[in-house]
Amino acid sequence: MSDLRITEAFLYMDYLCFRALCCKGPPPARPEYDLVCIGLTGSGKTSLLSKLCSESPDSVVSTTGFSIKAVPFQNAILNVKELGGADNIRKYWSRYYQGSQGVIFVLDSASSEDDLETARNELHSALQHPQLCTLPFLILANHQDKPAARSVQEVKKYFELEPLARGKRWILQACSLDDTDALKDSFSQLINLLEEKDHEAVRM
């Protein structure tokens, strides 16, 4: 091969490398999903979402009305509308359900029996609500780092999830602020459910 052809070959390879590195265009936009996050006061909703957003724990203030956070993940952005869990706020939850594509329900797995009973009633109500009943649910049994925490199996049995949520898309996961990897994995599973629902809608 002549020197000219060798030079041309190297120039062409340089051109291909340049195209691959510089001309591939911007990465595709991540899909965004609108979620509603509910649970009793003290269940840890705000702290968990702040952890996922890498916010300082010193800046966490319990939500009294509602707040919205954009929680970024590698393959999606979750726009989470967190609703306050106080007695006088819960009766208005349903006003904020419209437009939701998924639900995050946070419960305190170490709470008193009375609070756990209230949480069960609120979850049952959400699972059966006309605007939420067809949506994916992520149920987080929070505060697993506390001595009185109930296991996932205990929560599943007490909340009667198997019979009530049969046929629905739901995930029940243990979590705590100390285990960020497990928390992120729970949300990754939720994103998978949201993507599946998207694909089903496209096929229809």
Annotated binding residues for Mg(2+): 46, 63
Strand order of the β-sheet with 102-108 is: 66-73, 76-83, 32-38, 102-108, 137-142, 170-174
What residues form the annotated binding site? 39-46, 63, 85, 142-145
Q: What is the DSSP annotation of 27-84?
A: PPPPPEEEEEEE--TTS-HHHHHHHHTT--GGG----SSEEEEEEEETTEEEEEEEE-
> Which residue's structure tokens are 């096929």?
203
Reduce the DSSP state of residue 24 to 3 states and report it: coil
Sequence-distant (≥ 6) Cβ neighbours of residue 177 within 8 angstroms: 44, 47, 48, 51, 57, 145, 183
Of residues 136, 140, 145, 151, the one with CA closest to residue 191: 136
Give the whole-angstrom CA distance, residue 153 versus residue 170.
15
Residue type, 26: P
Number of CB atoms found within 10 A of residue 77's CB: 15
What residues form the annotated binding site for GTP? 39-46, 85, 142-145
